[in-house]
Amino acid sequence: MTTSQAATRTAGLRDRAEAVIPGGVSSNVRLLAPRVFFERGAGPRLWDVEGNDYVDYLLGQGPAFLGHAHPQVTEAVARAVRSGMVYGAQHALEVEAAERFIAAVRWPDLVRFGVSGTESVQGALRLARAATGRRRLLRFAGHYHGWIDNVLMDFGAEGGRPGTLGQPADALADWLVAPFNDTDALAEVFSAHGEEIAAVIVEPMMCNQGAIVAEPDFLEALRALTTAHGTVLIFDEVITGFRLALGGAAEHYGVTPDLAVYGKALAGGWPVSALAGREELMGRFGTGEVNHSGTFNASVMAAAAVVATLEVLTEDPPYERVAEHGTRLRAGLAGLGDKHQVPLRIQGLPAAFHVSFGGPRSVGGSAPVRDLSGLRELDLVRYAEFSRLLAEHGVWVAGRGIWYVSAAHGDAELSDALERVDAALTADTG
């Protein structure tokens, strides 16, 4: 294929997509991303329809934690679906998936599988309200818990406002919003409203904006205050689950929630989510007091993908490898920032970190950003533009700055990625 034939292929696909798919994309998160059409993914790399390869640090927004098309997961799903896919009833693989899940995460008593993080969050909020008989909910500025009316929030305004046209203005009326990592503010909210709050939901590491780790005392204060006030503590582990550790953020931080929601890395790229937690809460689904349903919940392919992914994660735990790769990658990126004299800022954990440019107020400052207001001082617009340049140079990352490392990334990807970032920075600053 010549270069112009290849470029025509992308343009042709873009035109066809825009003719039949709103905006040419199937999720609004992709509207601002470069309009690349991929043909193939294997391990830590992607190939587009023009034959260009990319070192992938987006991982499909996180799910491809084992790398793309992991052979053990792919084979397991293919083998399983040959004898059936959706029964609308129970099957042995579903039981094995749940057993393996509980054995891996350890603290929950019970688990229900779903299809998306968004819907499992809904189950968690409903359970918390059912168990407490309370309505109000508390969350943190900048955290994301799905795209449904009662959770989608734009944090441009103090306290948050609806995130989209079409979202009823009162859909968010039950939310209280506090700054992340601010133990004093948290204590104030609980002293004013503690007895009204059904649940607190938190991304234990704030990853949807920035990659902001919880400070040591914050999650502990959250645990203590929720326990004291009879409020259900929900960890939204959709990003952190199975990524920071086999037991997710709960294991990483040593703080145990009452309920937690998982997705992304749980099933090696297959669309599977989970809601897990203590028996006295989760058991309410089992008695039928609280409804949780879904045609595709724990389908054969979902169960097979969970079993195979958890087999891989427990038999050959990748966490040290991922941490080592992430640490070297971060050091390499920081070195390139120095070489090109650009204020590159990197923070988070090796498995998931955030890259941005310092803003006018933060240039030179190396203290980690602690919350949304700190994040706003960075030059996120410049980084978003730079991420497009990275794509042109063969590094596939999110425009919002998060970099995810997979179990499949190795030395070859590290050196390719750094060489390509170097070239992109030369193009950017040259």
For residue 334, the minimal CB distance to ligand PLP (Å) is 26
Q: By the 8 A CB rule, do 304 and 79 touch?
A: yes
Query: Of 258, 262, 264, 379, which is the active-site residue?
Result: 264
Q: How far is the CB of 426 from ligand PLP (least distance, A)?
A: 33
Q: For ligand PLP, which is the closer residue by CB, 150 or 273?
A: 273
C-beta of 239 vs 255, nearer to ligand PLP: 239
**54 counts as catalytic:** no
- How far apart, in whole angstroms, are the C-alpha atoms of residue 244 and residue 125? 24
Token duo for residue 208: 């949807």
Q: Min. distance of Cβ 239 from ligand PLP in angstroms?
A: 5
CB 157, CB 170: distance < 8 Å: no
Contact positions toward ligand PLP, by CB under 6 A? Answer: 61, 116-118, 121, 144-146, 203, 208, 236, 238-239, 263, 273
Shortest spacing between CB 48 and ligand PLP, in angstroms: 23
**Distance between CA atoms of residues 67 and 404, nearest Å:** 11
- The minimum distance between CB 2 and ligand PLP, in angstroms, equals 38
333 φψ region: left (φ > 0), alpha (ψ -120 to 50), beta (else): alpha
Q: Is 264 a catalytic residue?
A: yes
Q: Would residue 236 show up in a list of annotated catalytic residues for this protein?
A: yes
For ligand PLP, give the closer residue by CB, 117 or 401.
117
Q: In this chain, which residue has its C-beta nearest to ligand PLP?
A: 117
Q: How far is the CB of 207 from ligand PLP (least distance, A)?
A: 6
CB closer to ligand PLP out of 259 and 417: 259
Pick the catalytic residue from 48, 56, 182, 236: 236
Residue number, 68 or 393, with CB nearest to ligand PLP:
68
Other beta carbons within 10 angstroms of residue 390's beta carbon come to: 25
Q: Which is nearer to ligand PLP, 189 or 267 (CB)?
A: 267
Angle (deg, nearest 10), helices 279-287 and 117-132? 100
Dig out the tokens for 381 from the structure.
């617009």
The distance of closest approach from Cβ of residue 320 to ligand PLP in the complex, given in angstroms and rounded to an integer, is 24
User: Closest CB to ligand PLP among 41 and 117?
Assistant: 117
Active site residues: 144, 236, 264
